[in-house]
C-alpha cells in the first residue's frame, strides 16, 4: 500500500523529516516508487524507473542519517541538502550504467559510460535518482509528443499535453511521483511545461550549470535547471547543480550564492522583499495569441505584486517579434552540427545491411523522428554555402539586438514579469501537424534563451481549470533575485483557493482502465 502522505511533502519538508527520524529514506523512496509504478501508465512521465538502485541508495542514506543522529545536531546539520530525497532526471542526462536515450530511437540501447556533472553532484548531495523522465526527442518540441517512446499526458487533464520538451519531468513532479526533477531549457523547455503542469521551474543564466554529460541540442542555448513544487525547493536543487565545471568550458567561474539561505521561510518576510522593487511588464508579451484567461491571471499577479509594495513599470522589448525567427535559425543550425555524430558507427542505433553510405542514411532515416529531421534540414540549409550570411549570421545579429533590449529594460527595472506560455495546456495531437503553431507555444520564453538570461515560472492561478504560469526574468547571474520574487509571489498568494487544488485527473491515474496517452479508450495500449 502506497503511503500517499509522504508523496505530498515538499522536498525541504522531506529533508527535515528525515533528520528528525519521522520516516526513513527507504520509506520515502518506496512511497514515491510505489506511486509512480501504480499510476504512470496513463501518464507516461517515466521512460525508466531504477527501483533497485534507488532502494539501495535509500538504505545508504538511512545509514548516514542514523550515524549523524548518534553524533548530534552538528552532524545532522552538516549532512548534504538532498540526502534521502528522491528525484527524476530528464532522459538526456547521461548516467553511468543506465539507459540515456534523449527520447530517440537512434540512442536505443545506449548505456551511459559515466555520470554527467549534474548527476554526480546530485549523488554527492545525497539525492536519490529514481529514474529518467520522458521528453521530446533531443529536446525538440513543446509538448512531449515527439518522444520516440510515446507522449506524456498532463495530470490536470489526461487529454492534454504537459508541455515540452521536459514534459515528463514536469508531469512527474505535478503527479507527486517525485518532489524534484531536472529538465533542460533551450527555448522554454523547463518554464513552459512547468506553467502547463502547475509547478515551478527555472532556467538559470547560460553557463551557471554545467552541460557536461548532457546530450546536446543547441549548445549556445541549452541550459539545465530544476523543477519543484515550490521556489524554496527549486533554490535547493539549483544550489546543488550550479557552479564551475572544468569539463565544460562554457560554465561560469562566478561563485554560486546560497540560494536557499537568501529565501525567507516566513511568508511575511518573503513578501517584504517586494517593497521598493521595480518590476517591468513588457508590452510585447501581451499581444495577439495570448489567451484572455492567461492574460487575466498574469495581470492579477502583477496587481498583487504591486499591492505588496512593488512598482510595476511598463517597458518595451521592441525586438521581441524577431525572437521566434532568430531562435529557429540558430537552434536548428546548432542541432544540425551536434546531431551529425549519430551515424550508426560509434554508438546507439545502427543499420548495417549495405555499404557505408547506405548504412549511414538508413541509420539516420530510421533512428530520427520527423521533428528532428525537420530541424536538421532547416539547420543544414541555414549553414549551407550561399545562405550562411543571409540566415545564420543575420540571426546572430538579431540575437544581439534582443539582448540589448533586455539590457536597456534592466536599466529601469529590477526584473521583468510576463506570461510563461500564451495558452494553457492544449489537447494531445492538436498541433502535431502544424509545426508553426507548435513553435509559437514558446513565444514568451524563447527570447530569454536567446539572451542567455535566467527565467522562472511559478503558478499564478487557473484558466478554464488549467494552470497558468507567471514568468519572472532577471539580469544575468541574478538567479537569487528571480527566486526571491517567485518566493514573494508564493507568499502573497498563499491563501488563494487554487493553491489548495491538486491536479484534476489524479483519480484517473489510479484507474487501471484509463488508457495510456494517445491511446483511445478500449484500444490496446
Give the burial class of 494: count Cβ atoms within 10 A of its Cβ; 0-12 exposed, 13-18 middle, 19 or more buried: exposed
Handedness of CA 109, 113, 119, 123 (dihedral sign): positive
Residue appearing with cell numbers 513552459: 192
**For 149-208, where are the alpha helices, taking DSSP H only?**
167-174, 191-197
Handedness of CA 248, 251, 257, 260 (dihedral sign): negative
The reply to whether 165 belongs to the active site is yes
- Please give the share of the chain, as a percent, with pLDDT higher than 70: 98
Sequence-separated contacts (24+) of 503-508 with Cβ below 8 Å: 503/154, 503/155, 503/156, 503/174, 503/175, 503/197, 503/198, 504/155, 504/156, 504/157, 504/465, 505/153, 505/154, 505/155, 505/156, 505/157, 505/158, 506/39, 506/155, 506/175, 506/176, 508/42, 508/158
- pLDDT tens digits along 442-478: 999 999 999 999 999 999 999 999 999 999 999 999 9
Q: Are 209 and 118 in contact (CB under 8 A)?
A: yes
Of 90, 166, 169, 457, catalytic: 90
The reply to whether 100 belongs to the active site is no
Helix axes of 51-71 and 11-20: crossing angle, nearest 10 degrees: 50
SS (H, E, C) 51-68: HHHHHHHHHHHHHHHHHH
Q: What is the mean pLDDT of the chain?
A: 95
pLDDT bracket for residue 2 (50, 70, 90): low
Of 165, 166, 169, 210, catalytic: 165
- pLDDT tens digits along 290-348: 999 999 999 999 999 999 999 999 999 999 999 999 999 999 999 999 999 998 887 77
The reply to whether 90 belongs to the active site is yes
Of 189, 336, 350, 441, catalytic: 189
Antiparallel, parallel or unpaired: β 278-282 and 311-315: parallel
Task: Give which of 91, 178, 98, 94 is closest to 135, Cα–Cα.
Answer: 91
Q: Are 334 and 221 in contact (CB under 8 A)?
A: yes
List the domains of the chain with CATH numbers: 4-321+400-510 (3.90.1300.10)
Least reliable range by pLDDT among 163-167, 205-209, 363-367, 377-381: 363-367
Amino acid at each position: 500500500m502506497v503511503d500517499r502522505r509522504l508523496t505530498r511533502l515538499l522536498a525541504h519538508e522531506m529533508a527535515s523529516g528525515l533528520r528528525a527520524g519521522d520516516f526513513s529514506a527507504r520509506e520515502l523512496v518506496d512511497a514515491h516508487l510505489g506511486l509512480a509504478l501504480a499510476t504512470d501508465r496513463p501518464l507516461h512521465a517515466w521512460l525508466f524507473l531504477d527501483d533497485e538502485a534507488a532502494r539501495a541508495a535509500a538504505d545508504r542514506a538511512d545509514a548516514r542519517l542514523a550515524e549523524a543522529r548518534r553524533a548530534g545536531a552538528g552532524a545532522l546539520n552538516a549532512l548534504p541538502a538532498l540526502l534521502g530525497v528522491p528525484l527524476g532526471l530528464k532522459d538526456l542526462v547521461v548516467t553511468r550504467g543506465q539507459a540515456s536515450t534523449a527520447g530517440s530511437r537512434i540512442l536505443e540501447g545506449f548505456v551511459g559510460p559515466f555520470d554527467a556533472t549534474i548527476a554526480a553532484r546530485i549523488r554527492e548531495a545525497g539525492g536519490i535518482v529514481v529514474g529518467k523522465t520522458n521528453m521530446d526527442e533531443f529536446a525538440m518540441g513543446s509538448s512531449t509528443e515527439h518522444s520516440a517512446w510515446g507522449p506524456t499526458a498532463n495530470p490536470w487533464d489526461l487529454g492534454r499535453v504537459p508541455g515540452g520538451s521536459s514534459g515528463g519531468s514536469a508531469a512527474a513532479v505535478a503527479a507527486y511521483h517525485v518532489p524534484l526533477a531536472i529538465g533542460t531549457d533551450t527555448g522554454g523547455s523547463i518554464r513552459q511545461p512547468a506553467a502547463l503542469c502547475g509547478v515551478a521551474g527555472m532556467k538559470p543564466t547560460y553557463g551557471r550549470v554545467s552541460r557536461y554529460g548532457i546530450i546536446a541540442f543547441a549548445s549556445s542555448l541549452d541550459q539545465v535547471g530544476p523543477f519543484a513544487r515550490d521556489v524554496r525547493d527549486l533554490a535547493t536543487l539549483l544550489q546543488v547543480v550550479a557552479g564551475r565545471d572544468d569539463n565544460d568550458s562554457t560554465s561560469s567561474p562566478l561563485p554560486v550564492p546560497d540560494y536557499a539561505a537568501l529565501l525567507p521561510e516566513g511568508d511575511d518576510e518573503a513578501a517584504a522583499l517586494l517593497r521598493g522593487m521595480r518590476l517591468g511588464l513588457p508590452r510585447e508579451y501581451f499581444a495577439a495569441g495570448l489567451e484572455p484567461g492567461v492574460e487575466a491571471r498574469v495581470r492579477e499577479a502583477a496587481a498583487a505584486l504591486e499591492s505588496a509594495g512593488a512598482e510595476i513599470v511598463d517597458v518595451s522589448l521592441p525586438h521581441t517579434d524577431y525572437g521566434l525567427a532568430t531562435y529557429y535559425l540558430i537552434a536548428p543550425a546548432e542541432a544540425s552540427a551536434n546531431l551529425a555524430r549519430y551515424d550508426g558507427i560509434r554508438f546507439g542505433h545502427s543499420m548495417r545491411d549495405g555499404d557505408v553510405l547506405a548504412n549511414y542514411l538508413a541509420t539516420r532515416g530510421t533512428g530520427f523522428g520527423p521533428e528532428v529531421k525537420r530541424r536538421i534540414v532547416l539547420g543544414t540549409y541555414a549553414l549551407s554555402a550561399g545562405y550562411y550570411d543571409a540566415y545564420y549570421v543575420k540571426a546572430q545579429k538579431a540575437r544581439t539586438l534582443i539582448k540589448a533590449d533586455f539590457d536597456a529594460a534592466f536599466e529601469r527595472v529590477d526584473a521583468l514579469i510576463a506570461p510563461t506560455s500564451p495558452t494553457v495546456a492544449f489537447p494531445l495531437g492538436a498541433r502535431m501537424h502544424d509545426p508553426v503553431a507548435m513553435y509559437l507555444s514558446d513565444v514568451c520564453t524563447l527570447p530569454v534563451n536567446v539572451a542567455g538570461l535566467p527565467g522562472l515560472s511559478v503558478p499564478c492561478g487557473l484558466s478554464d481549470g488549467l494552470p497558468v504560469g507567471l514568468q519572472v526574468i532577471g539580469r544575468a547571474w541574478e538567479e537569487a533575485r528571480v527566486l526571491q520574487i517567485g518566493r514573494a509571489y508564493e507568499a502573497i498568494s498563499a491563501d488563494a483557493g487554487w493553491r489548495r487544488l491538486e491536479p484534476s485527473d489524479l483519480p484517473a491515474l489510479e484507474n487501471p482502465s484509463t488508457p495510456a496517452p494517445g491511446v483511445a479508450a478500449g484500444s490496446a495500449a
